[in-house]
Every structure is written in structure tokens, then in C-alpha cells.
Structure 1
Amino acid sequence: MPDILDDLRADLDAAFARAERKRARRGWTFGAATAALASTAVAVVLLAGGTTPPATAAEVLRAVAGVAQDTPAPVPRDDQYYYVRSRTTNLSMFAGVDPKHEHAVTLVEADREIWQSLKRPGQMTVKVIGKRPLTPADAGRRQGPDVAVPGGGRVGKQHHYLLGTERLSRAELLAYPTDPQVVYDRIRAHVGSGGDSREGQVFDAISSALRERPAPPALRAALYGALALTPGVTLAGTVTDRAGRTGTAVAFTEVGVRTELIFDPRTSELLGERRVLVEPARSGIDAPVGTVVGDTAYLERAVVDEL
């Protein structure tokens, strides 16, 4: 424990020194310095597994918001592409019409790339690399057609960015409010009519904004701050994503499935997502509690000029 405390003290001292240098250079506020110190402290405690009382989801998200504020996050010009490469695993559930036969539920693993632009046609490529039954019982059941992985091909011009149901131009995205409470209220006012709860829709909207869409640093920080205000968001702790990277996860549970967002507390990057079964009867998925029914690792994001 002394070694951990020494490391924590050293990290805090280093963060404070960085904050002082930034404040001297550009009039940094005390609030921003505090966010940097908090983010360092939370990251060290989470990764070191210290014995201090566990942080809450809100505390962790506010800390990572402070990191996002100072982490570069370019937004493409309208004629550029936002590129994302990921590896996904999704359920493939075949609803057969023959009641005499139970059809298998499988997990389909794929590599996915997508290029999106506001002014130019984009592209998506999907390559299936594996398939396995969800449970041992599914191994002996009839296999149906895969429906989990959409085919690749051309992606039309996006024309706008979506935040909830709001359609935003690049200029509107750059000018979007950055106060977490304002962002939360605005997203909550612009979610669809589906879903099990309004809070779940807000969680989904913020997840989508962090997943495969660009956001300037101040907005990324505000999105994490808005997530901290969302009722029902819990801390899942330190986890390892499917690519073997260590991150911190927050979660929201709805319809028997816990959706986890995994991010790097030191960079604010969204590393991946995972969906875990917690109430099989409510979810309609016949598998044991704790079964991972889907996950995604985001491996690369970039602004590029060509496909």
C-alpha cells in the first residue's frame, strides 16, 4: 500500500504542476485544474485497485470529462471522411416458423470499417471472421441464416450529424452547448419515442455520439458530464475489453441486459462496449446470467481525405 500511495502522490504532484503551467500559459481556471487532478486521482485508484472507498459512476465520468477537455479530437471538414475500424460480436437469432425445431442462437464476429462524410458518398466493409453458438445447447440446434451483420457497401452522404434525433451541421456541432446540464436536458428533449425508458434513450444517444461520430473536445467533455447526470448509470469498474486493453466501464441496465461503455480514463477514448445478460427471462434470451451477448472494440478512429 505505501508504494501505491507514493505513486498516487507523485501523479497528483505531476498533474498539479501541469495544471499550473497551463494556467500560466492560458489563464486556466481553478475548475479545470481541479478536473485534471481529479481525473488523475480516479485513474490511479481505479487502475491500482486501492482500498479507498470506490468512486461513483458520476465521479469517474466527471474526471474523464476533464481529460476529454484537453484531448485533441478533430472534426472532419464536410468533404473529408470520419473513419472508424472496429471488431464486433453480435447475436444472430433466427426466428424459425417450424415449432417442432428450436433454432440456434449464435454469436457472429466481424471486422468492420466505415467511412462517413457529410458531402461525399462513404463506404462500409464487413468481414465475418467467426461464428459460435451462444450456449452449448445451441450447438446442437438448427442453424439459421445470419442476420446479425449487415452487409457492406456504399454509404450515402450523411448531410448532418445526429445527436439524439437532432440533425446538426458541422458548424452547429462545433457550436453545440458544452455545459453538461444543458447538454443532458437538450439530448433528453431530442430522443425518439422507442426504448424502454427515456433515461435509456439518453444513454444510447450519448453512446452513439462517442462511438462513430466526431465531437470537438469541449463537447466530448460535456457528453461525459451529461452521462454523469443520467439516472441509472452505474460504475462497472476496471475491465479488459475484447482487444485486451484495460479501461473503466460505466453501465446502464434495461430489458434484462447491462450495456457497458468501456473507456480509457487517461485519454477519454471510448475503447469499446459490451452487453451482458442479467435477467434472461426479461431479455428473451435463453442463456445463463453473465453471458456476454455482444461486444465491440473500437480499434482506430481518424479523419481521412479518401476512402
Structure 2
Amino acid sequence: MTDELDLLREADPVSADTGPWRDRPLNARAELLLRRLPSQDRGRRTVRRVIWSLEAAAAATVLALALAVSGTPSSAVAASRPVPLVAHGSRADVSLAEIVRRARTAAEESPGKSGRGSHFQSWALSMKSGEDPVTLPRESLTRWNADGSGFSLEVATDPRHPGRPVIANGTPPHAVHDAKVLSEVKYPAGINGANESYFEDPPAGASALRAYLAVWSPGADRDPAELISAIESFLSVWTPGPRQRADIVTLLSRIEGLRPAGKVIDRLGREGQAFRFTPASAGMRKLIVLDPDDGSVLDVEETVTRDDPEYRLKAGDVMSYKAWMS
């Protein structure tokens, strides 16, 4: 037990200066460090990497769906494992500075308000050492009413039709097509998201928003990778209005090392402007896709930057993505 604790301390998934620990997913760097803990003197141990705290039962359900769709484990993986988004640079690309200008203009014309709740599709790679990867496609929708009551629905997507919406945004939202419901929760009046991170209304102004994000994601006020992860988490709780969209894209424009990648058609068929960010030591790369007209974050995709034979990964493989639908 002592040597295992030493290994965890060496990995340092939550450093001493990150503030009070809260119940939240580890960031990409922390997960990668934990996954690569040395194990030569302990035999071959199984290490699982599950992104966004998806429950084991949900993972099993999604895998069962994939197997039922394709008929065999190998074809299930091949059918549902995504390829990286491909961006193409050209003279028609919209710069990040121009996207910021457009977002600010839209916010001045109609500030609007951010809405509590979010609708997105996501995929994450879960792995066992020496085995083929297991895919976890899903779609999530959360909505809140004026009286504080709410509704949350999470549904497995069909790997035969990637990107096809499987939740109808009605009252209440409900699953459509061949979707398998993973979780369905109704919240009574007065809850209003108080059991979630970022439950307070977001402030106006880019600097104020960054400080707000850092309350829930310590490090977001000084670490670009933490800031991007915090924005992802925030967008899983809130649908930003024009003012918050402008603040978010302003924060992104201040990240040193965020490089233009070109135009891209995302997994939902939308055209966006893509930007790449590669942290210095995480072994991963982020691709952030923005709506060039209003600055909305459409997608965030994470890929590995180097081969990892133990987990059958090659440089460029997709580790996870999120595509926001509203």
C-alpha cells in the first residue's frame, strides 16, 4: 500500500496549490499521469481510463448497444470509433481576433442571458491495457424551469448514425430513434441546479468569467489547459448567451499557443473555424471548433500526440470529443 501511495503522490493529480478538492473529473493531464503510473514490479495490471465519470453500468449498456448493432466486438469498435476532425486552411479562414470582434458586436446588439442547462453529444475512449478500446457514445440534455425544477436525460447514441440527434427537446425531453436511455432524472422545484458545479449565474466580462471558472476549476486562472477544461465543464452546465459567448472566445484568444487550423465540418454537419492547442507535457492536443459568426463553441476534440502501444493508441487517435447542440 505504501508504494502505491508513493506512486500517486508522484503523479500529483491534484497539486497542493489547487485549492479545496471538489467532486469533479480530473483534468487531461492528471488522467494521463494516473494512466501511466509505473507497474513493472507489480506485474501486468489493468488500468482503466474513463472520462467525465461515466458510470460502469452506463458503459456496459453502451457497449452492449454497440455489440448488438454490429454483431461482433471488433466490428463494434470499428463502427463507432471516430476519426479525427480534419481542418483545411485557406485564405477564407476567419481569424480568432475577427471572431472575437463579431461576438462582441453581437453581444452589444443583444446581450441576452445565459440559460441554465445544456445539450451535447460526446464520446470518450475507455481502455484496458493490451485490449481493444471500448467506445462510449452518448447524448445528454439538461433543462431547468423558472420554478427551479429540472430534467436531465442521458441517452446512448447509435454508432451506425454518428451525429444524429437522439433526444427530442420537448416538454419533457424524450429519447427518439433507437436510443437506449442511460439515465433520466427529474428535479423538484427549488433545486435550480444547486447540486451542480457552476450553479451561480456567470458574471459579465472575460476577466470576471475566468475568476468564476477558477472557483470550480482551480488553475483555470493561470493554466491554459485548465482554462480550456473549465470552459468545457461550464458548457456542460450552461448554454451561454451572446455576452458569455463573447467572454469565452475572448478568453480563448488570450491563450498563448492556440493556433489556427482552418475550416472544418464537425460531427453534426456544421461548418466551423478550428484552432489547435498542444499543452507542453500532457501528450494530448485539443481542437476547438468555433462558430465564426457568433463565437459559439461547437466542438472540443482531444487527440493523443504520441504512440502508446500498451493501449493500442497511435499519434492522432481521438481520445474524446464533445459537440454542443445548444
User: Could you state the TM-score of these two structures normalised by the residue count of structure 1?
Assistant: 0.56
Which of residues 123, 126, 132 in structure 2 aligns to 1:89?
Answer: 123
Any stretches of 5+ residues in structure 1 without a counterpart? 1-45, 96-101, 132-148, 302-307
Counterpart in the other structure of 2:254: 229
Contact 2:242 2:294 in 1 (8 A): no
Contact 2:284 2:304 in 1 (8 A): yes
Counterpart in the other structure of 2:185: 154
Q: In structure 1, what is the Cα distance between the partners aligned to 2:324 and 2:230?
A: 17
Matches within 5 A, 1:101-250: 102-116=130-144, 119-130=148-159, 151-154=182-185, 156=187, 157=191, 158-159=193-194, 162-163=197-198, 167-168=199-200, 170=201, 173=202, 176-178=203-205, 180-184=206-210, 186-187=211-212, 189-190=214-215, 192-193=217-218, 198-250=223-275
User: Is 1:65 matched with 2:103?
Assistant: yes
Q: In structure 2, what is the Cα distance between the partners aligned to 1:64 and 1:204?
A: 24
Higher strand content, 1 or 2: 1
Counterpart in the other structure of 1:24: none
User: Is 1:287 matched with 2:287?
Assistant: no
Deviation at 1:71, TM superposition (A): 5.9
User: Could you state the TM-score of these two structures normalised by the residue count of structure 2?
Assistant: 0.53
Deviation at 1:116, TM superposition (A): 4.3
Aligned residues: 212
Any stretches of 5+ residues in structure 2 without a counterpart? 1-86, 161-179
Aligned letter for 1:89? W
Runs of 4 or more, structure 1, over 6 Å off, are none
Higher helix content, 1 or 2: 1
Change (3 A) 1:64 1:251: farther
Aligned-pair Cα RMSD in Å? 3.8
Bigger shift: residues 219-228 or 285-294: 285-294
Deviation at 1:252, TM superposition (A): 2.7
Q: In structure 2, what is the Cα distance between the partners aligned to 1:191 and 1:209?
A: 9
Bigger shift: residues 284-293 or 198-207: 284-293
Deviation at 1:129, TM superposition (A): 1.8
Deviations 1:119-145 (A, max 9, x none): 2142222124239xxxxxxxxxxxxxx
What percentage of aligned pairs have identical amino acids? 17
> Which structure's CA Rg is the greater one?
1
Contact 1:61 1:228 in 2 (8 A): no
